[in-house]
Amino acid sequence: MAKGESGNNLEEKSFNPIKAEDVMITKVAILDENVSVKKAAEIMAQLDMGAIIIMAEEKTKGILTERDIIKRIVAEGKDANKTKVKNIMSSPLITISPKTTLKEAAHIMFEKKIKNLPVSHKNRLIGLVNLHDICKSQPQVLRQLRQVIEPPKNLKKVLRNYII
């Protein structure tokens, strides 16, 4: 037993950082790259998801997010029925391993200016971590990271909602 600052005896513990596998969602929507943006948006709304992984020839090719649809379809006045997701998805797909710590994941998000990170193991998609998951589970990690690296403009709103 170790003696703590308050004078109480505390058992020595090693704290393991929270990893992607601890907070990731495992039910991830996957669509073919040739699906229309309209169909993808309908599926996203139906499943209440903000991102869908895009595949082609049984390989992950990119990710389609609500932001992609707003910036590349709505803002540009494109026809969502005629545009295929492969034309507006974010690519190449940046992935992390299930053992990636949330601090490392958040750092990648800040550097790449993204809010979603697919989790893969042995080249197989197994989940998805997003900035909201990190904010809810480890806001202190983001507070520390914010002191070292300036959060991208598109992530600041999310951070404001969770971090004081």
| 3-state class (DSSP) for residue 125 | strand
Compute the distance between CA of residue 51 and CA of residue 60 in angstroms, rounded to an integer: 14
Measure the CA angle with vertex 24, ends 74 and 94; round to 5°. 55
- Structure confidence by residue, pLDDT tens digits, 47-57: 999 999 999 98
As a whole number, mean pLDDT of residues 33-52 equals 96
Mean pLDDT estimate for the chain:
86
Question: Domain residue spans in the chain?
Answer: 18-162
Q: Where is pLDDT greater, at 31 or 7?
A: 31
| 3-state class (DSSP) for residue 79 | coil
Which class in CATH covers the domain with range 18-162? alpha beta
pTM of the model: 0.78
As a whole number, mean pLDDT of residues 140-154 equals 74
- Structure confidence by residue, pLDDT tens digits, 55-73: 998 889 999 999 999 999 9
Q: Enumerate residues 6+ apart whose C-beta is below 8 A from 142.
A: 106, 134, 135, 159, 162, 163
Query: How is residue 128 written in tokens?
Result: 């998805």
- pLDDT at residue 163, rounded to an integer: 65
- Structure confidence by residue, pLDDT tens digits, 103-137: 899 899 989 999 999 999 998 999 999 988 888 87
